[in-house]
């Protein structure tokens, strides 16, 4: 996913948005929310070799606002914020272990879910969903990270 | 190559983008400024998928169908004949008129001669976001009527179980505000008891709040509530749901949940009432 092209990223966001809309109704029964599109975008920014433009993050979020049912500007703002955080601390992340990075991404996904719920589901805002999602997302990311050790052929090889 | 932290110029740009986002959210939530764009996008996606399906899946289906053996068709024909015979027996109205299935004119003649007036426009559920329905406050459905292109804003929408909402926006597709949407308020009654039921944002549940100093009659679990017709949108006397859970908010106010009898997910064929 290193230096992924804009068109490719937008297409991936589109596909993941559809996937998310299929998965979410099942996961919410277990009080879990998994913002796949947000995490894919964060991963793309994190893995990129150069700093992305703020407008790029803003327009990606705006695009997601258009294809999803969220209010205009919500994903645009959140994508811009995560882009800023990752670009600011990208060198610090190199000192982190995989567990710390997993916790960072899980925490950022919880921030995303909580902030989104403040706007689109204020009356059913649930701390239970946030805590369960934090636990679930952290475990999921750790599992994904561990896969590359157990199945080395699955890991992406960089030069 | 290592990445450098954002410069002050970039930080200003970040700040600007976040400010614009906040402004857009404010506009969208307060003035619904982007409803048109979203509806246009939804209708574009639905039309595209329809055309895509017509261009790809349908020809393959057609080829598959014509490649079937003649014997299969004969068997299917026999099966259909059997089903038709069964339906003649089970349906008294249909069995009265042997030419009922002949063509559209026969159906129209049947309706005219029996003085049956259509009271609704038949419509199809085109788009329904189940994710939003299960998780969030905004419960909307997008429908398309089969025959009419009239402006149907404010008309009640029903399915075979009862009322599911009313139309709030409509051009190519009509947007239905469901009873469970938190922006939806509906006056209800049960005997001499009246209250305004607000959508709870949860599937199949609406909430009524009333002042027990004004309405001293007690509400009980399982009590049936009906539309009062006082909102000017829904017809009077339609069963909406049954009381499920009663909570005393304070000494003056009592709140209770109503489990709806209807659900928008039960069928994709619905009706839009012509008038109340």
Q: In whole angstroms, give the CA distance from residue A39 to residue B62.
A: 42
Is some CB atom of chain B closer than 8 A to the CB atom of A126? Answer: no
- Looking at per-residue pLDDT, the higher value among B185 and B132 belongs to B185
Percentage of chain B surpassing pLDDT 90? Answer: 14
Range in B25-29, B109-113, B241-245 with the lowest mean pLDDT: B109-113
At B161-203, the pLDDT tens digits run 888 999 988 877 888 999 999 889 999 888 878 888 999 888 8
- CA-based nearest residue in chain B for residue A82: B14
Asked whether the beta carbons of B235 and B276 are under 8 A apart, the reply is yes
B131 close contact with A: CB closer than 8 A: yes
DSSP A53: P
Task: Provide the mean pLDDT of chain B.
Answer: 81
What is the Cβ-side half-sphere exposure of residue A143, based on CA atoms within 13 angstroms?
A: 6
**pLDDT classification of B103: cutoffs 50, 70, 90:** low
Interval A52-74: pLDDT, tens: 889 999 999 999 998 887 889 99
Tokens of B39: 């509806």
Among A76-80, B35-39, B100-104, where is mean pLDDT lowest?
A: B100-104
Cα dihedral across residues A39, A44, A50, A56: positive or negative: negative
Choice between B271 and A154, residue whose per-residue pLDDT is larger = B271
Helix axis angle, A98-120 relative to A36-47, nearest 10°?
Answer: 140
Q: How many angstroms separate the CA atoms of B25 and B32, rounded?
A: 10
Contact B126, B142 (CB under 8 A): yes
Continuous segment of H or E residues that includes residue B248: strand B239-248
**What is d(CA B12, CA B80) in angstroms, rounded to the nearest whole number?**
71
Minimum-distance CB partner of A74 among B25, B135, B137: B25
Scanning the structure block, which residue is given the tokens 């069963």? B239
Q: Is residue A128 less than 8 Å (CB to CB) from chain B? A: no
When pLDDT is averaged across residues B92-103 and rounded to a whole number, the result is: 47
A2 vs A61, more confident: A61
What letter does residue B14 receive in the DSSP assignment? H
At residue A77, the pLDDT reads: 94
What's residue B115's pLDDT?
57
C-alpha B113: how far from its chain's center? 32
| Cα(A54)–Cα(A90) distance, integer angstroms | 15
Residue-wise pLDDT tens digits, A7-37 = 888 999 999 998 998 898 899 889 999 999 9
pLDDT band at residue B213 under the 50/70/90 scheme: confident
**How many other C-beta atoms lie within 10 A of the C-beta of residue B253?**
13
| B138 → closest Cβ in A51, A69, A91 | A69
B14 pLDDT above the threshold of 80? yes
Say if pTM beats, i.e. exceeds, 0.80: no
Flag whether residue B182 sits within 8 Å of chain A, measured between CB atoms: yes
Q: DSSP letter at B120? A: E
Complex ipTM: 0.86
Position A2 pLDDT exceeds 80: no
Residue B82: per-residue pLDDT: 81
DSSP per-residue string spanning B124-171: EEEEE-HHHHHHSS--EEEEEESS--S--TT-EEEETTEEEEEEEEES
For the segment B16-30, what is each residue's pLDDT rounded down to a tens digit? 999 999 999 999 888
The pLDDT, as a whole number, for residue A32 is 92
* CA–CA–CA angle B100, B105, B107 (5° rounding): 40
């Amino acid at each position: 996913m290193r230096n992924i092209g804009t068109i490719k990223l937008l297409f991936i966001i589109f596909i993941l948005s559809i996937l998310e809309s299929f998965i979410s109704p099942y996961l919410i029964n277990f009080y879990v929310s998994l913002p796949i599109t947000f995490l894919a975008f964060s991963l793309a920014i994190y893995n990129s070799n150069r700093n992305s433009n703020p407008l790029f993050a803003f327009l990606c979020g705006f695009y997601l606002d258009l294809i999803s049912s969220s209010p205009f500007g919500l994903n645009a703002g959140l994508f811009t914020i995560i882009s800023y955080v990752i670009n600011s601390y990208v060198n610090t992340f190199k000192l982190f272990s995989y567990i710390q990075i997993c916790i960072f991404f899980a925490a950022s996904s919880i921030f995303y879910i909580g902030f989104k719920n403040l706007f689109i589901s204020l009356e059913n805002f649930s701390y239970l969903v946030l805590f369960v999602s934090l636990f679930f997302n952290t475990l999921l990311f750790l599992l994904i990270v561990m896969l590359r050790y157990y199945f080395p052929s699955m890991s992406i090889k960089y030069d | 190559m290592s990445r450098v932290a954002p410069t002050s110029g970039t930080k200003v740009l970040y700040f600007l983008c976040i400010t614009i986002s906040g402004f857009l959210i404010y506009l969208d939530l307060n003035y619904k400024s982007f409803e048109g764009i979203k509806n246009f996008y939804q209708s574009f996606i639905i039309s595209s998928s329809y055309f895509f399906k017509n261009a790809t899946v349908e020809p393959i289906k057609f080829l598959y169908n014509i490649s079937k053996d003649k014997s299969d068709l004969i068997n299917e024909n026999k099966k259909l004949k059997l089903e038709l015979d069964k339906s003649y027996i089970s349906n008294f109205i249909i069995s009265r008129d042997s030419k009922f299935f002949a063509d559209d004119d026969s159906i129209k003649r049947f309706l005219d001669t029996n003085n049956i007036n259509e009271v609704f426009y038949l419509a199809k559920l085109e788009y329904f976001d189940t994710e939003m329905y299960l998780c969030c406050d905004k419960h909307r459905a997008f429908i398309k009527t089969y025959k009419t292109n009239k402006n149907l804003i404010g008309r009640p929408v029903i399915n075979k179980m009862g009322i599911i909402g009313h139309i709030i926006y409509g051009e190519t597709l009509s947007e239905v505000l469901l009873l469970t949407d938190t922006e939806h308020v509906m006056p209800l009654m049960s005997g001499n008891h009246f209250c305004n039921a607000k959508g709870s944002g949860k599937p199949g549940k609406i909430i009524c709040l009333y002042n027990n100093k004004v309405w001293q009659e007690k509400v009980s679990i399982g009590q049936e509530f009906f539309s009062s017709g006082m909102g000017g949108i829904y017809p009077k006397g339609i069963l909406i749901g049954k009381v499920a859970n009663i909570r005393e908010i304070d000494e003056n106010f009592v709140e209770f949940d109503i489990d709806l009898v209807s659900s928008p997910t039960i069928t994709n064929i619905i009706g839009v009432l012509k008038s109340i």
